[in-house]
C-alpha cells in the first residue's frame, strides 16, 4: 500500500469516527419511570376486528385485559406469551415489555391479527 493510500484510509477513518462522535446523541438519562400500560380488548366473535398498534416504552408493564365472545387464545409473538380465552370470561395477561421491537398479537383460533405491540427504547 502506498503512503498516499494509507493517508486516504486514515483520513477517512478519522472523518467517520469524528462524525460518529459528534452526531451520536448522548445516552439519554431515562426521563420517565416505567409505566403501567393497560389495553382493554373486546374481541367479539373474532371476525369483525381491525388490527391496532399498542405503543409502549421498553421497561413498561403491559397489561392486556381481553374478552372474546368465542373460545380462543391470544399469542404475543416475540414474548411468546399465550393467553387462553374462554368465551365471555375476561382474561388478563401482564408482563414487562423488556424486548424492543414490533411484536405481533394474533388469535390462534380465529387466526385474527389483533395488532402489533410496539416497544420503543426508553427515551
Partner 1 sequence: MRRAGLLAAVLFSTPVSGHSFGQPYQLPMPYWLYIYGAMAALVLSFVVFGLFVGRSHFDRAPRYRELSGSPPLRWLRRGYAISTLRAVVLLLFAFSVLTGLVGSRDPYRNFNMTFFWILFVLGGTYLSAVIGGWYGVLNPWRTLSRLCDRLWPAFSTGRFRYPAGLAYWPALVLYMGFIALELFGDVRPFSLSVALLLYTAINLLGVFLVGARAWFRHGEFFAVMFRLVSMMAPVLIDRDANGARRVWLRWPFVGLLGARIEHRSLLVFLLFMLSSTAFDGLSETKPWFNAFWMDPSGLLTQWFGRHPLQYYGDVRIWFIRYEMLCLVASPFLYLGAVALFLWLGKCLCRTRASVRDLAMDFGYSLLPIAVVYHVTHYYTLLLDQGVKIRALVSDPFGWGWNLFGTAITGRVPILPDMGVVWYSQVLLILLGHVVSVYIAHAEALRQFRDTRTVLLSQIPVLALMVLFTGVGLWILAQPLNG
Determine if 39 is a binding residue for partner 1 (CB under 8 A). Answer: no
Rounded to 5 degrees, φ, ψ at 103 are: -125, 125
Determine if 71 is a binding residue for partner 1 (CB under 8 A). Answer: no
Selected from 63, 78, 91, 122, the binder of partner 1 by CB under 8 A is 78
Stretch that binds partner 1, among 36-44, 61-69, 83-91, 95-103 (CB under 8 A): 95-103
Helical (H) or strand (E) element with 25 = none
Residues that bind partner 1 (CB under 8 A): 4-5, 8-9, 12, 15-16, 19-20, 23-25, 50-53, 75, 77-78, 80, 99-104, 106, 108, 111, 113, 115-116, 118, 120-121
Amino acid at each position: 500500500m502506498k503512503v498516499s493510500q494509507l493517508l486516504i484510509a486514515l483520513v477517512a477513518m478519522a472523518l467517520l469516527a469524528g462524525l460518529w462522535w459528534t452526531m451520536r446523541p448522548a445516552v439519554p438519562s431515562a426521563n420517565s419511570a416505567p409505566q403501567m400500560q393497560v389495553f382493554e380488548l373486546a374481541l367479539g366473535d373474532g371476525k369483525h376486528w381491525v388490527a391496532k398498534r399498542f405503543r409502549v416504552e421498553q421497561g413498561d408493564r403491559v397489561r392486556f385485559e381481553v374478552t372474546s365472545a368465542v373460545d380462543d387464545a391470544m399469542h404475543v409473538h416475540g414474548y411468546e406469551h399465550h393467553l387462553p380465552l374462554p368465551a365471555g370470561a375476561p382474561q388478563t395477561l401482564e408482563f414487562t415489555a423488556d424486548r424492543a421491537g414490533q411484536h405481533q398479537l394474533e388469535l390462534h383460533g380465529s387466526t385474527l391479527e389483533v395488532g402489533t405491540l410496539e416497544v420503543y427504547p426508553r427515551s
